[in-house]
Amino acid sequence: MSLAAASAPEAARPRRSPVALLVRFQSLLGLLIVIAAGLVFSPHRHGRLLFLQPDNVANIIRSISETGILALGMTFVIIAAGIDLSVGAVLGLSSVTTADLLVNDGWGLWSTLPLVVLIGTAFGAVQGAISTRFRIQAFIVTLAGLQAARGLALIVSDNSFININYGHGPGSAPPAFAVLGERIGGVFPVATLVFILLAVAAVALLNVTRYGRYVFATGGNERAARLSGIPVSRIKVSVYALTGFASAIAGIVHAGQFSFGSPNDGTGYELNAIAAVVIGGTDLFGGAGSMVGTVAGAVMLGALANILQLNDVSPAMQLLATGAIIVAAAALQTYVGQRSGGGSR
């Protein structure tokens, strides 16, 4: 996997105890456990493991692409000691705006997609600016943003479902857009490719650029960061712009994958994204975290859901299992935080 190489810079900040190592790689370890469980519990068909069938693997990675993209942005926000509850709603707004512009307004791809991305990014930046300028907790501002984005989505769509038909002429979207729902070589989903490209960029941005350092410092100790001459306010606004950007991309992918835009889509996605980030080992209080962990956390959640589905476990039990894993991840972090004398509050 191309992400393995990107985890190298992480090694520059090692911790010593084996338990701490466990936390550092808890998401990867968890992922291994989930995959092992998948192999053990997978139903067989024609003597082969259903879990490992190319179709099934493709299903897993396709199913996590949207939440995964949201979680990438969310990681920046959480490391900067913030939170963004609006990502699911902005995803919905973006998907419905994409559908509306392409189908109802006859816009082309080269005008529609940049505009949607711009709207999403601006939406996030405005939330960040409000939170920073007026010193309102991000939880509140983005909760309000969630409502506002849903409202806007309803206005854009006239409170209805927009089907995307492909073709030429009015009432149809350019056929090129359908590529987002397709699979490369009939197996590898294009949506997943988008996720992987963004994940590589996000890992690099967080780990090897000055900007990434500023994000860590802002979340770790805002006052110390300010004193060091770091433009803390701008950093805080920028991370919300990043989640807005990620939400817009996820919204476009959503519209492309399902060939429709619905104002209510993406409901609850913000919680899945936060779960992936937390399972990935990022500290909800900010200042510490890992983008590679987030990716692994997202894959792990997807694989887990897949195993449970393959075994016909009821949706209720699936939710319970997800909850248990989130608690276990958080408990492990707190435990090690206390043992190593730092990090936990």
Partner 1 sequence: MRAEVPGTDRAETPGTGGPLLSMRGVRKRFGGVHALRGVDFDLRRGEVHVLLGENGAGKSTLMGVLSGAIVPDDGEISIEGVPVRFGSPRDAHEAGVIMIPQELDLVPGLDIAANLFLGKERRRGGLALDNRRMRAEARTLLERAGVSLDASLPVGSLRMGERQLVAIAKALAADARILIMDEPTAALSAAEADHLAGVTRELAARGVGIVYISHRLEEVPRVGDRVTVMRDGQRVGEASPRAPQSELVDLLVGRPFSELFPPRAASVGAPVLELAGASYAPDRPRPGWQHTRDATLSVHEGEIVGLTGLMGAGRTEMMSALFGFGTTGRWRGTVRVGGVDAGLGSVGAARRAGIAFVTDDRRGTGLVLQHAVSENVTMSTWRRVTPFGFVSRRLQGRAVSRAIADYDVRPRRPEALAINLSGGNQQKVVFAKELLTRPRLLLLDEPTRGVDVGAKAEIYRQVRSLSATGLGVLVASSELPELIGLCDRIVVMRDGRTVCEFGAEADEAAIRAASEAADDTAAAAGPHAA
User: Which chain residues interact with partner 1 by CB under 8 A?
Assistant: 9, 12-15, 207-214, 216-217, 220-221, 223-230, 287-288, 341-343
Tokens 């705006």 found at: 97
Which residues have CB under 8 Å from 193's CB, separation 6+? 184
Least separation in angstroms between residue 268's CB and partner 1 is 31
Least separation in angstroms between residue 265's CB and partner 1 is 36
Distance CA 7, CA 328 (A): 23
Distance CA 195, CA 186 (A): 18
DSSP letter at 163? E
C-beta separation of 293 from 74 below 8 A: no
Least separation in angstroms between residue 277's CB and partner 1 is 17
What is the 3 state secondary structure string of 41-57?
A: HCCEECCEEHHHCHHHH
Distance CA 154, CA 143 (A): 17
Q: List the structure tokens of 271.
A: 């919680």
Is 85 strand, coil or helix? coil
Closer to partner 1 by Cβ: residue 227 or 331: 227
C-beta separation of 190 from 180 below 8 A: yes
Distance CA 29, CA 22 (A): 8
Least separation in angstroms between residue 212's CB and partner 1 is 8
HSE toward the beta carbon, residue 13, CA cutoff 13 A: 12
Closer to partner 1 by Cβ: residue 30 or 212: 212
Q: List the structure tokens of 193.
A: 């490719």
Least separation in angstroms between residue 98's CB and partner 1 is 31
Closer to partner 1 by Cβ: residue 263 or 287: 287
Least separation in angstroms between residue 12's CB and partner 1 is 7
Closer to partner 1 by Cβ: residue 7 or 98: 7
Q: List the structure tokens of 77.
A: 């926000």
Closer to partner 1 by Cβ: residue 68 or 343: 343
Closer to partner 1 by Cβ: residue 264 or 340: 340
Closer to partner 1 by Cβ: residue 75 or 94: 75
Distance CA 178, CA 166 (A): 7
Between the CA of residue 293 and those of 80, 202, 241, 282, what are the distances in Å?
16, 12, 22, 8
Closer to partner 1 by Cβ: residue 78 or 225: 225
Question: Angle at Cα 321 formed by Cα 319 and Cα 326, nearest 5°?
Answer: 95
Which residues have CB under 8 Å from 295's CB, separation 6+? 3, 68, 71, 72, 199, 203, 280
Closer to partner 1 by Cβ: residue 93 or 292: 292
